[in-house]
Chains A and B, each alone.
Chain A
Amino acid sequence: MSGDRLRPQALADEFFLTAHDPVGAPLLPGRVLGIGLASALLGELLLAGHLGLSGGVLAVLDERVPRDSLARSVIERLRAEPYHRQVRDWIAFLATSGRQAVGGRLAGAGLVRRRELRRRWRRPVVRWEPAGAAVAAEPGSRIHDALLVRSAVIGEQDVVFAGLVVATGLDQRVLWSLHADQRVFLRRRLDRLPGPLGELVATCETAVGEAVLSHRT
């Protein structure tokens, strides 16, 4: 899996790997990371056609059960709470346990290892160490390289991934060497995303902005 640079993994997994540094410390502040992961988890379900999104409201589209256990638990939770369908609420909810959940999934696949560091006088921190430097750098560099050559084919999932990276400010780390015209190209691809996916990226951006404004990042 780690050698295949052309095929993306699950959206939330890729976001998680991109959002942590080589020693497994997060590159984003807590809430923003949670918002990004939550958006990515919902994005997985939107991409697979399990969910729809319109006007801020999520809809469960079919009876299919996702194979992945994390995606399955998200869908089941959505089905169990039919009165809660505001996507903003779901992003806020999933954000609270996003790091733990996605980290757990990656750990189950052997791509990261959970480490708890005890520090004197302070609360212990959790590190999710990637299995190798290449593992962590993959998604970001794949997008980055694709954007450098504008004629390259960028899949829909990669565009959503790039959108979430920009929305959470992670592009300062991952896509910082892009030139202006490459950013314009990315912007145009983002604008051409179908309704639900485009709205997801915009909702992520809004959630991050509102976290900043309310001093709770």
Chain B
Amino acid sequence: MVSRSPSMRAGSVSATLASHRLGVAPVVLFVLSAATPLTVVAGVMPTGIGVTGLTGLPIAFAAIGVVLLPFAVGFTTMARHIVNAGAFYTYIARGLGRIPGVGAAWLALLAYNALQVGLYGAFGAQVAALYMLWFGHTVPWWLPATAAVLLVAALGLRSVGDNGRVLAVLLIAEVTIIVVLSAANLTHPAPGPILAPISPTNLLDPNAGALLSMGVLGYVGFEQAVVFAEEVRDPLRTVPRATYAAVAVIAALYILASWGLIAGVGADRIVPQAAAQGPELLFGLAAQHLGPVAVAVTRALMVTSLFAAQVSFHNVVARYAFALGREGVLPRALGRTSHRTGAPRNGSLLQTAIAAGVLLIYGIGGWDPMVHLFFWAGTTGAVGVLLLMATTAIAVIVFFARDRHGETLWRRAIAPALAAIALTGICALALTNLPTLLGVAPGSTVTRLVPVIFLTTAVLGALWALLLKATNPTVYHGIGYGARTALLLPNQGRFTTPAVR
């Protein structure tokens, strides 16, 4: 056997590294496929219209999209100067301080978990409906939901949710159906005020906060593009461009889809029909305009869409817990990987346990899976993300106020300020309109519970940070550095010059 002298692959370091890095397109594709459009179009939209009684969704999506663009400018600019940029709490920790940072981290865990667990309600309900349709038997919603939890758990432990090709195919299929159906709806609208849903006066409605909260729900996930900050060929431009592209595509798609849905049924009729039928409303329109094959495909795609969303959010939560475990803010066991797959194993198991616990409670409680689990948990999670985004925008301004880091005035001050003002206003509206959003009477237990839970979670997080400051200054020092903490820790005086930004 001829032994070849082993050598490094020919080619410069830069060229080799660049060939392994990503361009704009794969990043945008990842973000959009994590957005799972059919979940929003067939799930959130009809349920939301039925629960809130509002038909201004298209303009809400437009408004949120407009607000998120300057927000994206601000936080992608700050992302150039920090590590662990994929999580909002990092910006808050580096901008406003470690104590609010940990409060934000706990709030984020609550919000993203709520978003993830809520999906099991819709999944269970949809699979049960399909089962009834195809086999004529009832099956309780929590049975397919539990199966989904187990399957997501298995995939999460193998880090399989990152399979770009499968997600991309699903994305293209979902987008195609949505675009075709929306076009059909808009070209053959039901009689009724067709322009009402896109009228900006919807935003002057006292219940605009509920509309805007639902709007945010459509965009959650767009912030994940920064996760690839270290993996892209052109860090300065690729990440911002991918984020703007994601926001623009999501905006266009959901404005079209929600307008189409409302126009297809009729703005004056849709509320009671949506309340009664939920996702069936969309399938009915598909049957009307596209035929039975399209309906069957759409039903199947909705189930896969929900599943893909579950996996996607599961991965977000698992990695959040992983980063916090690496920092030592949460137990270090969460920062361990599975050696065979590289998955954040304990973070994944934690999220599975949370989901299982919530399903158990809802199963025993006998509440409605679409409204009380999917919609309530989803919109509550969206409001949590809204709070995080508003705080992040402020954190960006403060971060650059301390040190310009060579960024332009627009990027470091004006854009984030516009976003901060708008997002804070939307937060206030969202919180005051919680009763409308959840479809309950004002002053009911649920509407008082939600802000209390948010506040308590954030305060507990802040108190935890104070405790860390007193008992474990090394860990306290590393808050907000994610996986980079190992290099930052003053290990007996070494590494005190941080090799980090």
Footprint of B on A, CB under 8 Å? 27-29, 31-32, 55-57, 69-70, 73-74, 77, 81, 84, 87, 89-90, 92-94, 96-97, 100-105, 107-108, 168-173, 191-192, 195, 198-199, 202-203, 205-206, 208-217
* 19 new A-B contacts at CB < 8 Å, known A73-B7, A212-B337, A215-B315: A55-B497, A55-B499, A57-B499, A92-B17, A101-B8, A104-B6, A108-B3, A108-B6, A168-B339, A195-B494, A199-B487, A199-B499, A203-B486, A206-B487, A209-B483, A213-B84, A215-B159, A215-B162, A216-B231
Tell me which of A70, A87, A100, A214 contacts B227 (CB under 8 A): A214
Asked if B444 is at the interface of the complex by the 8 Å CB criterion, the answer is: no
Name A's interface SS. helix
A-B contact pairs, 17 of them (CB 8 A): A29-B159, A32-B342, A55-B497, A69-B7, A192-B492, A199-B499, A206-B485, A212-B319, A212-B344, A213-B84, A213-B86, A213-B319, A214-B227, A215-B159, A215-B162, A216-B231, A217-B341
CB closest residue in chain A, given B320:
A213
Asked if B4 is at the interface of the complex by the 8 Å CB criterion, the answer is: yes
Within B329-347, the residues touching A (CB, 8 Å) are: 335-344
Within B460-489, the residues touching A (CB, 8 Å) are: 482-487, 489
Establish whether residues B8 and A212, one from each chain, have CB atoms under 8 Å apart when the complex forms.
no
Asked if B323 is at the interface of the complex by the 8 Å CB criterion, the answer is: yes
A94 vs B9: C-alpha distance when bound (angstroms):
9
Q: Which of B13, B162, B315, B335 counts the most chain A CB atoms within 10 A?
A: B13
Establish whether residues A102 and B6, one from each chain, have CB atoms under 8 Å apart when the complex forms.
yes
Contacts of A105 in B (CB 8 A): 6
Closest Cβ–Cβ distance, residue B475 to chain A (whole Å): 15
Establish whether residues A170 and B482, one from each chain, have CB atoms under 8 Å apart when the complex forms.
no
Establish whether residues A27 and B339, one from each chain, have CB atoms under 8 Å apart when the complex forms.
yes
Q: Which 7 A-B pairs have the closest CB atoms?
A: A209-B483, A217-B342, A56-B499, A104-B6, A108-B3, A29-B342, A169-B339
Tell me which of A90, A97, A101, A214 contacts B228 (CB under 8 A): A214
CB closest residue in chain A, given B227:
A214
Q: Which of B30, B319, B494 counts the most chain A CB atoms within 10 A?
A: B494
Asked if B495 is at the interface of the complex by the 8 Å CB criterion, the answer is: yes
Within B307-354, the residues touching A (CB, 8 Å) are: 315, 319, 322-323, 326, 335-344
Name B's interface SS. loop
* Chain A proximity mask over B449-469: 1 for CB below 8 Å, otherwise 0: 000000000000000000000
Establish whether residues A213 and B16, one from each chain, have CB atoms under 8 Å apart when the complex forms.
no
Asked if B14 is at the interface of the complex by the 8 Å CB criterion, the answer is: yes
With A73-B8, A101-B6, A108-B3 known as contacts, the answer to whether A208 contacts B227 (CB < 8 A) is no
Asked if B137 is at the interface of the complex by the 8 Å CB criterion, the answer is: no
Establish whether residues A206 and B486, one from each chain, have CB atoms under 8 Å apart when the complex forms.
yes
Asked if B280 is at the interface of the complex by the 8 Å CB criterion, the answer is: no
CB closest residue in chain B, given A77:
B8
CB closest residue in chain A, given B14:
A84
A-B pairs with beta carbons under 8 A, tally:
149
Closest Cβ–Cβ distance, residue B161 to chain A (whole Å): 8
Closest Cβ–Cβ distance, residue A29 to chain B (whole Å): 4
Contacts of A171 in B (CB 8 A): 339
Asked if B5 is at the interface of the complex by the 8 Å CB criterion, the answer is: yes
A192 vs B7: C-alpha distance when bound (angstroms):
33
Asked if B408 is at the interface of the complex by the 8 Å CB criterion, the answer is: no
Establish whether residues B20 and A104, one from each chain, have CB atoms under 8 Å apart when the complex forms.
no
Contacts of B492 in A (CB 8 A): 191-192
Closest Cβ–Cβ distance, residue A82 to chain B (whole Å): 11
Contacts of A77 in B (CB 8 A): 8, 13
CB closest residue in chain A, given B322:
A212
Contacts of B338 in A (CB 8 A): 169, 172
Contacts of B20 in A (CB 8 A): 92, 96
A90 vs B13: C-alpha distance when bound (angstroms):
8
Closest Cβ–Cβ distance, residue B367 to chain A (whole Å): 34
Closest Cβ–Cβ distance, residue B246 to chain A (whole Å): 16
* Chain A proximity mask over B1-44: 1 for CB below 8 Å, otherwise 0: 10111111100111011001000000000100000000000000
With A81-B13, A191-B491 known as contacts, the answer to whether A213 contacts B339 (CB < 8 A) is no
* Chain A proximity mask over B170-206: 1 for CB below 8 Å, otherwise 0: 0000000000000000000000000000000000000
Establish whether residues B231 and A202, one from each chain, have CB atoms under 8 Å apart when the complex forms.
no
With A93-B17, A217-B159 known as contacts, the answer to whether A203 contacts B487 (CB < 8 A) is yes
Tell me which of A29, A202, A212 contacts B487 (CB under 8 A): A202
A31 vs B159: C-alpha distance when bound (angstroms):
13
Contacts of B339 in A (CB 8 A): 27-28, 168-173
A57 vs B498: C-alpha distance when bound (angstroms):
11
Establish whether residues A213 and B17, one from each chain, have CB atoms under 8 Å apart when the complex forms.
no
Asked if B268 is at the interface of the complex by the 8 Å CB criterion, the answer is: no
CB closest residue in chain A, given B482:
A213
Closest Cβ–Cβ distance, residue A41 to chain B (whole Å): 10
Establish whether residues B17 and A104, one from each chain, have CB atoms under 8 Å apart when the complex forms.
no
Establish whether residues A84 and B228, one from each chain, have CB atoms under 8 Å apart when the complex forms.
no
Contacts of A195 in B (CB 8 A): 494
Closest Cβ–Cβ distance, residue B25 to chain A (whole Å): 16
With A32-B342, A170-B339, A172-B339 known as contacts, the answer to whether A210 contacts B230 (CB < 8 A) is yes
